[in-house]
Each structure stands twice: as structure tokens, then as C-alpha cells.
Structure 1
């Protein structure tokens, strides 16, 4: 390709956050009027790279980035999104930024309103001009027609389906003057198949008009259908840059998860057959739905054997986090859940804990911990509230007070076994590192002595050493107590290293359940929504 045709060139870009290297020497280019697919597992570096391109303030606030980026031959280094927008870069984020009480037209032209002069503005200046509704509707309709979708310019955003909102986000970006590059971050995640098909055609139409597009998607069949070039990120580096022509979905899946994730001996993790009647079912979930924003569960069914470590994986926003949060009553849920052969009522957190379930939330700071309380109080709190442990009683229980000695002994036990780095059991949890806070969350759950333990993203945001300790602690607790563990994680390699079986969630449903020794490409297909390409037997 000639330099004249190149719109975007990324050379040697790197980025680290507080010593954690996220991007390492990223290099790729994008031609004018072409669609580039950017794919990779969660944590591969896609979001950080897009934040750099769009000038998100978090980049400048954390020391900037290494390397150079050129747009239309000019070196750029945006300090904020306003600079990126002025240069001709638009970005549609996963989260909507629309105003519900505004119409389609008002949202598309937000901060780009068209005005007309009046008697007052001619005297006192342009800022007193009135909104030109007619011109705004005309401009909005033009953007909508460019996309090739059916949207009413006068409908309130609050009254339209999710798919239409996504089209409004895109229409707003292409309506900007001199848009050269459009970044679409998982734009089809909230769309139906028919809506996604319309969007893909719209992308092709925009590319033919000369707009370059960076398309981030986990639906790999969409990439092979619409994209011109492919860039695969893995662990912060570009492992593949090539034309999409001739590439199939399975190859992309292998490139995404192609590293050696099977770094354990086969005998270390027992593979459990779901038809094995020698182990009884401790938890059975049927037709579960959960209304958790960003992680909606639509129709999930699975069964877990007593004493196994059952993994739940999948890409961000597909519903995996909604499963434990729904069963534990943190978000509205419905369906049937049977625990220890008894129906478990949903939407009752205290009842779930009382029944013998425990939960280590992915939100350790918001849900898991009492940040302004000491370690011993955090570890003992749930067991004290639910099971009345760590209490002294007088007059048959009429008078109760905390057993400080028992709390101290319990805390010291877990501080030692989990290697929690702290000054003492009286140190406030807010003062601990992320890894040590996570260990306190585990200790808090272990103190309940549950029959079944949910752990959600147990190694998120912690260093490699802490990750090993956490995973080892889960293995040990499972082996020593025969406690059933359901582990939800975005890290496939971690699931494969610890779990007996792994369910992959895609679009709010179970795409399939695989043994840990299944090929990386099989997991990749399930994550990408390509499970319809697999044989039925491979998904059980």
C-alpha cells in the first residue's frame, strides 16, 4: 500500500499503568475507506489502545504513552476527546451516551445544533440565535439515510428499543464534519441478528464513502463478512496483521487464545462427565434470567456436581457475571434454582447465605468489603450476621456481644494461610493492596464454611504472584473441604488450570460446556458466538 492511501499509522505504541505493562510495541496501519477488525481476549489491550487513539484523559493523566501515531500523515497525541473529534475521529462506546428525554434528532445533533438568526441575535450576537428545527431534522435524516436504517427523527430515545439507540450513536458520529475515522467498540453486542446485518451493510457503505473504520467485535463471523484487514492483540502485542480474505472464524479464534493455556499436567484437574452418576448434583439451574445492567442473563441452564470446580467463562457483557449475582439475589432474577435438592428462592440474599451458599463478588470494593473496618471484622462479618458465629451469649442468647478473641484467631488463621500482607488483623482493609483485599474477600467467604462457593473474577486487577496464591487457595479449599466451587472468570487460562468443566456464556445463554483439555479454538468459537459451527456433541 502507498503512503498516500494510509489514514492511520501506529508505530511502537506502548502503555503501562502503575508498572503494569498493558501495551508493548504496537504496530499497524489502516488505509482510507477500509475496515480494520481489532480482536483479542479480554485484557489483550484493545480498550487501552482505543483510549489512546481517542485521547481519553486517563491516558494523559497516567503519564501518556510511548511510540508515535500518525493521522493522514500528521503526528497526533490527543490530550482529550475534543481534540480527537476536531481531527476527524469519532468513537461509539459500548455504553450509551444518549439523553432519554431527547428525540432522535436532538441526540444526533447534540452539541452540534443548527441555529438561525433572529432580531435579538442580530443585535446582541450569535449566542442568542434560535434552534433551527427544520435544518436539524434535515441533517439527522441525512445521517440516518447514510446508515440505511428506519428511524423516526422525532421519537424520544426513552421510547425506542436498544438496537435503535445504537444506530443513533453511530449516526451522531458520522454527522460530524470531516469524520475520517470511526471507532466502533462492540456495536453489534446489543443488536439482533437482523439489526446487526443492517449495521454491517451500513459500515460497508460508509467505507465506500471514504470513512475508515476500526471494528471491535467478539462475533468473529461478522469480521470475516465485512472487514478488509485483521489485527489480533494478545497480551498487549500484535500477533497477527493481515488481510481478512481467506481467513476463517476458527483461525481467528486460535490466534486470539493461541498461547499455551494448558500449562498443567492432565492429571492435575479431573475431567468430570456430566452424565457421571457417581457424583450427585448439588446445584441445578433451569431457565435462569437475570436483569443485571451490562451482563443480562436470558436463559441459562446447567447442573453442577458436588465437590467439583465448575468454571463459567465468556467475553465481557455476555452475561457470565449476571449468573452468580442473580442467584445470590443482588439483581432481579427468575427461573428455577435447586440447591441440595431443595428449591432456592431467588431475590433473597440472606436466604441464599443461610442455605449454605457464599459469594466472592467481582466488585470487591463496592460489595465485598467494609473498607473502613479492620481485617478481622471483615472476615467475621457475614458469618456473624448469617450464622451467629463469633458471638458470646448470656441468658440463653438474650444478650449477645462480639467474641473478639475468636475473631482474632480466625483472622490470624487466614492471614497466615492466604499470606495476607498486613501490619495485623486490626489494619483497615482500605489500606491493603488489591491482591490482599481479594484474599480478605476469600477469607470472609471461607469463614462461612459454605457448601457451595461462587467466586467472580477472583484474580481481576491483582499481580501474578497474588493470582497464584488465590487460585491455590481455591484448589486447597475445594480439596480439603469437598466444597463445590463455581468460578466465573474472563481469564480462560485460569479456568482451564483449576476447573473440572467450563461453561461458556454467549449472548446471555450457555453456548456450551467443555472439559479443560478441549482445544483453545473450541473455546474461542463458543465465546465468539460460533458455537452453531460445532457439532452438538462437542458442546456438552
Structure 2
């Protein structure tokens, strides 16, 4: 019996002339939680795509090296082969079928069937689905993760956090599982949900299943990992037990330079109040899994307003409603004038821009170039990057190229060039392209939802600093929705906490942790005052 459940020996991979992996060796023991970390573009996802037999690997010339499972060399030519060998993977980008229910996605290709009168006569191919048993087994997998999700709900429209748990439930429902890869599983989760998942991962590992854990949240890595392997620019930097690393060590080895990993800021978070830019009254948004029932907010010109809260409580629905992506109602005024809801075109033409939490489903044209993605909205909404030749218009390719090169440099988008398809970028670099497209619109109000999801720690700081600079230097008003309270506190002037579909209260970013926690649990500001008064009386 081999000491290792998995060995990946001297793995190398080229995309054309570009070498993205250079002789990587990885060894995983049964029941071990092995963290794999590195900046966006370091090669983590490519290495896991090789392990899981993803088509993009074989269609681009395959790879060099060996994959050894339980002491025997194996050839993984497809995801189905990987699953047959007991390898499961929770992908960073969801691999779910939107029109199917939660149960149908969890049990896909492993459906339970039962006999009926016709199958008894004509054969087992005519058996019917045992939906009751499938639901019970799906619910059991979700319960292991501590999640209460309706198994008959369609995937389409669910909050991204719920989709992530469905992905994970599908993998742990499998019977022959030996190794499970988690690719950024907590990137779309709130801190509470992430804690639930980490506890579930520890239980999975104790059962003997090995886990490869890819995450940019270094505090989670430090908490849960037994071993840590760090990649940089496609090369192996080091691999050692987690006790030999500090969080700062990990960050610096990832980026190859000294790095400030703190989100805290000693600067006074104040802004020049130039009046109310947008007023929101009685906003209702019908977004599946994120129902907003009554939101009242004033957004001041020149501020960064953070919106936080637990998943499914409505925080993500606010921006989606204002941008017209989900049906909404209520009274909204922008710059003192009535604002029309339910029209994305109206929102964009009135100088709102949006970075969606769903970068692949909403944010990007995956089979189009980086430069086209960045310029597309400005071309359609503002007629920019177009040459007017009276009878017709032509694309201003030089302007498009110059604009894309600027943002590739400013946002450190790791790519082969502006003509590379956005769908072939790593998840974090795709997010940067979404941000670049929104900024190209030069909006008066920028709505960003989970802007640092799936981005490494160096790029995360870059994005947050960019938002802060846009606000301070150009007075851009920003509404930032995030599941990470630390991020909101680092750049926001005020933070609105949403619970049960409404704003429970607005706090200064330096407010005590317990105040944020109480608001997230459904208490109001009046409740906080009452609690504080009782504490004083004691």
C-alpha cells in the first residue's frame, strides 16, 4: 500500500509556446488537507485541470509527467475517468445545469431508479427515477454541510453561495471518493458559511478522504491545512507542513516580494458630503434566493457605501435590482430625478456601472477577446471607440487596444495579450476584466458585487486600493457588496447590514464586531442601543 493516495510527478504544461507549469511535483496522503496556493495565473487551476482530465488539456497538446494513484500510474483522459478513479472536484466556476433542480444536479449521472410495471415486462432500461430516494440522499449531503436548501429549487437564480454548496454536496454524495479538490470553495461564501464549510471539510478528511484545498484566504489555509504547497509563475516554490508557515510567509512566497497583508487602515474614513446622490425607498427585488422585501437607503455623493450581511438575506439583490437584472419595485431617485427600474439599458445610460458577482454568467463574453470585453459596454452605450465615417461607423481598434493595455497594466491582468479570449483567463483575472469594463464607462455610480471573489491576496489589495483611489481622487461614488466584512471595513465610509430583506442598520466601519454580528442576526439599531444600555446598567 502506497504512503500517498496521489502523486503528480514532474508535471509540465505548454499552451503554445507559453509554459504554464514547470516540473511540478505534488504528493497527497490519505485524510490529509493539502493546501495549494499561489497568485492568479500561478498554475493552480491548470494543475487541477490535468488531474481531473479536463478537455482543455487534451485539446491543447496534453501534458508531460506522471499521475500515480494508490501507487499505480493512471491515465486520466476525461472527467468521467477521474470520477471512476475516485477523484472529485469542486470547480471555481460552477459546473451546474441551471434548468435542473438541486437534487437533479447533485445526482447527475448517478440517478436512482425503481421498477414499474413496464420495466418488469420490457427490461431495466424503462425504469423510472426514484425521485423520493434521490431527494433524501441529496438532503443528507447538504445536511453534512450544514445547509438548508430546498432540493426541488431550480439552480437558475439561486445565490452563488447556495450554488457553491450544491457543487460540494454533489461531490460528497459520491460513494467511491478518495480525493476531493476544492477550488476556491469559500470565495462566494460569507464568513459564517465559510466556517460551516471548513468544519465539514475537517469531517471529510477524518473519514480518510484526501483534500486538495485551493484558496486565497490565507487565514483559512493556516487554520485547516496539514501541508501547504506554493506555486509562483508555474513553478514550485516550496512544500512543507503548515506549522512552518506564517500568514505573512505564505503571502510573500506567493508573490515573491514583501507584502502588507493587512486590510486595516489608520486613515480616518471620512468623505466630503456633497448631498444625496441616490435615494431608495421601499425597494423590493424578486431575485431567487436573495429576496429583497423593503430596503430604504440614502447614498451620498462621493462615498463608498459597503453592503454586508449573510448569504440569502438580500444584500446581493439590491445592486441586481437597481441595474434592472431582476424585477424590482419601489421609489428610487438619482440626482434628484425619478429613476426607472427594470431596465439595464436605462441604468447604463444614466451613468451607473455594475460589476456582477457572477462574472461568467453575467459579466463576460467568454469567447471574445479581453480588449473587446473591456470596450463593449462603452461602445454600445456611449458610442465610444467608434470612428464616425458619416455613412457608417467602424471600430476604433487603436483606441480599443490602447484602453485595454492601460487596464491590463493598471489592474495587473495576467494574460498573453489583449487579444486573448476572456474565457481562457484564470478566475481572478476574469474578475479584473469585469472591473475594467465597468470603469471604462466612467460612471457616476459604480456598483460592485463581490469584487475580490477568487482573487489572490496581492491582486485583492490592488483592487481595493483602486476602488479607494477612484473614490478619493475622482470623487466616484461606490456601492460595494461583499461577503467579507474585513474588506468592507477597509475602504467603506459607512456599512449597511442587510438581514431578512431589509437594512437593519448602518454602522461606521470602526464599529465593534458584536454590533455587526447583532445586525446580521436580525437585530435593529434600536436593539443595539437597548443592549448597550443594559450592559451599562450592569
Please list, as runs of the form range in 1=range in 2, the aligned pairs for 1:3-14 lying within 5 A after superposition: 4-14=2-12
**Residue in 2 aligned with 1:43?**
41
**Residue in 1 aligned with 2:144?**
147
Deviations 1:165-207 (A, max 9, x none): 6555434323333211111233334555554434333322222
**Of residues 174, 180, 185 in structure 1, which corresponds to 2:178?**
180
Please list, as runs of the form range in 1=range in 2, the aligned pairs for 1:376-455 lying within 5 A after superposition: 382-383=381-382, 404=389, 418=399, 438=404
Contact 2:190-2:484 at 8 Å conserved across structures: no
Structure 1 residue 380 displacement after superposition? 7.2
Q: Distance in 2 between matches of 1:112 and 1:340?
A: 55
Structure 1 residue 89 displacement after superposition? 0.6
Whether 1:463 aligns to 2:417 is: yes
| SS state at 2:243 partner | coil
- Do the aligned partners of residues 335 and 211 (structure 1) sit closer, same or farther apart at CA in structure 2, a change above 3 Å counting? farther
Deviations 1:357-376 (A, max 9, x none): 7899985758999x99xx9x
Contact 1:233-1:256 at 8 Å conserved across structures: yes
Please list, as runs of the form range in 1=range in 2, the aligned pairs for 1:292-303 lying within 5 A after superposition: none
The TM-score, its normalising length taken from structure 1, stands at 0.57
| SS state at 2:487 partner | strand
Please list, as runs of the form range in 1=range in 2, the aligned pairs for 1:91-490 lying within 5 A after superposition: 91-94=89-92, 95=94, 97=96, 102=101, 104=103, 107-115=105-113, 124-129=122-127, 131=129, 136=133, 140=137, 144=141, 147=144, 149=146, 155-158=151-154, 166-191=164-189, 193-245=191-243, 247-259=245-257, 275=270, 365=365, 382-383=381-382, 404=389, 418=399, 438=404, 459=413, 461=415, 463=417
Contact 1:501-1:513 at 8 Å conserved across structures: no
Q: Distance in 2 between matches of 1:301 and 1:203?
A: 41
Structure 1 residue 24 displacement after superposition? 3.2
**Residue in 2 aligned with 1:76?**
74
Q: Distance in 1 between matches of 2:35 and 2:228?
A: 5
Contact 1:501-1:514 at 8 Å conserved across structures: no
Larger Rg computed on CA atoms? 1
- Do the aligned partners of residues 186 and 360 (structure 1) sit closer, same or farther apart at CA in structure 2, a change above 3 Å counting? closer
Structure 1 residue 32 displacement after superposition? 0.9
Contact 1:146-1:202 at 8 Å conserved across structures: no
**Of residues 466, 477, 483 in structure 2, which corresponds to 1:507?**
483
Structure 2 segments unaligned to the other structure (5+ residues): 261-266, 421-428, 453-458, 472-477, 492-508, 513-538
Structure 1 residue 348 displacement after superposition? 5.5
Q: Distance in 2 between matches of 1:252 and 1:218?
A: 10
Contact 2:13-2:64 at 8 Å conserved across structures: yes
| SS state at 1:500 partner | helix
Greater shift, 494-503 or 213-222, is seen at: 494-503
| SS state at 1:245 partner | helix
**Residue in 1 aligned with 2:15?**
17
Contact 1:364-1:441 at 8 Å conserved across structures: no
- Do the aligned partners of residues 149 and 157 (structure 1) sit closer, same or farther apart at CA in structure 2, a change above 3 Å counting? same
Structure 1 residue 73 displacement after superposition? 2.0
- Do the aligned partners of residues 329 and 251 (structure 1) sit closer, same or farther apart at CA in structure 2, a change above 3 Å counting? farther
Q: Distance in 2 between matches of 1:149 and 1:101?
A: 22
Contact 2:8-2:24 at 8 Å conserved across structures: yes
Q: Distance in 2 between matches of 1:30 and 1:324?
A: 42
Structure 1 segments unaligned to the other structure (5+ residues): 263-271, 391-401, 421-434, 443-454, 516-533
Q: Distance in 2 between matches of 1:284 and 1:200?
A: 39
- Do the aligned partners of residues 248 and 331 (structure 1) sit closer, same or farther apart at CA in structure 2, a change above 3 Å counting? farther
Q: Distance in 1 between matches of 2:232 and 2:275?
A: 37
- Do the aligned partners of residues 210 and 146 (structure 1) sit closer, same or farther apart at CA in structure 2, a change above 3 Å counting? farther
- Do the aligned partners of residues 484 and 137 (structure 1) sit closer, same or farther apart at CA in structure 2, a change above 3 Å counting? closer
Contact 2:184-2:213 at 8 Å conserved across structures: yes
The TM-score, its normalising length taken from structure 2, stands at 0.58
Deviations 1:117-143 (A, max 9, x none): 677656654324455678x46982895
- Do the aligned partners of residues 305 and 111 (structure 1) sit closer, same or farther apart at CA in structure 2, a change above 3 Å counting? closer
| SS state at 2:2 partner | helix
Deviations 1:187-244 (A, max 9, x none): 3345555544343333222222211111233443333332211223333333342222
Contact 2:7-2:28 at 8 Å conserved across structures: yes
